[in-house]
């Protein structure tokens, strides 16, 4: 039971990280800072290797 809870918490943490990254990217897109958007997209692509 404990392992299932830990696994669930880890999955929830990953989901929250992805949601935060998406919110940040959306914010950059709305601000019109294209270069910043490209940087964030590159960071997200790099982070996908670890997810």
Q: Give me the pLDDT at residue 51, please.
A: 56
- The Cα-based distances of 11 to 8, 18, 23 in angstroms read 5, 11, 18
Q: Give me the pLDDT at residue 50, please.
A: 61
pLDDT one digit per residue (tens) for the chain, 51 residues: 566 665 766 677 777 788 888 888 788 777 766 677 788 788 888 876 665
Residue 43's nearest CA partner among 25, 19, 23, 16 is 25
Q: Give me the pLDDT at residue 25, please.
A: 77
Q: How far is CA 4 from the centre of its chain?
A: 23
Q: At what angle do helices 34-48 and 2-31 cross, to 10 degrees?
A: 160
Give the start-to-end residue ranges of the domains of the chain. 2-48
Q: Give me the pLDDT at residue 33, please.
A: 67
């Amino acid at each position: 039971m404990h392992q299932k809870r830990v696994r669930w918490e880890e999955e929830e943490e990953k989901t929250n990280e992805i949601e935060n990254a998406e919110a940040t990217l959306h914010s950059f897109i709305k601000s019109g800072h294209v270069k910043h958007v490209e940087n964030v997209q590159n960071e997200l692509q790099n982070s996908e290797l670890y997810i």
